[in-house]
Homo-oligomer: A and B are copies of this chain.
Amino acid sequence: MAFSLIPKEVKFFDLFEQQTAIITSAAACFKELAIQGKFDDQGIERMRVIEHQGDEITHEIVDKLNRCFITPFDREDIHCLAFELDNVIDVVYTLTKRMRLYKLNVADPGMIKFAELIEQAVYSLAQAIKELRDTKNPKKILKHCIEINRLENMGDQLRDSVIGKLFDDGADPITVIKWKEIYEGAETCLDICEDIANVVESILVKQG
């Protein structure tokens, strides 16, 4: 293995932008499936292809990181960003597979709202990470992080509202078991977006 002695900072940003592009398509695909209520074999296959692209770019980032002396920001932060960004796709993919396993082929209003929140959070993430190239104007980046926190809060409220409704409506226990898991999984996706926003914020402070 040859260590690269020339700082190749730009490379990491390029890779992160490729990664957020993949996450953006995962979120778009997930929203489409939620609106159509089509969590079937075909829908899963579409997500699987995206998930595989996500794995490859993550692997490339981690691989480059292990071989690089000089990085644009802390090694652990790069590793954490790559890993958590990939996690967003994994959670969405797992949700898709779980919906099919539970035969929940319906356009559920709660799921559609979750899919919209996830898409918005992923959009803000992509913006924040794009602008990490130039940290001279941290306020622009922080604005996106604050928006992600707001969306995560909305996700918490949405989860409580849809799960509360399940119980209040007297849904049968098997239905409760299935949808409670799905809704909590969808909310977890927003938690991960918030975790990523926190990493971005801490990068800004350290560069400050």
Contact = CB atoms under 8 A, between A and B. Distances in A.
Contacts of A101: 160, 163-164, 167
Contacts of A167: 101-103, 174, 178
Interface residues of A, number: 24
A67 B205 contact: yes
Contacts of A164: 101
Nearest to A172: B173
A122 to B, nearest CB: 24
Contacts of A10: none
Copies per assembly: 3
A4 interface: no
A202 interface: yes
Nearest to A63: B205
A120 B127 CA distance: 44
A103 B167 CA distance: 10
Interface string A158-196: 001001100100001110111010000000000000000
A208 B180 CA distance: 46
Nearest to A171: B174
Contact of A66 (B62, B67, B202): B202
6 contacts: A62-B202, A67-B208, A97-B160, A102-B167, A167-B174, A173-B176
Given A67-B205, A97-B160, A177-B177, 4 more contacts: A66-B202, A66-B208, A103-B167, A174-B176
Interface of A: 1, 62-63, 66-67, 97, 101-103, 160, 163-164, 167, 172-174, 176-178, 180, 202, 205-206, 208
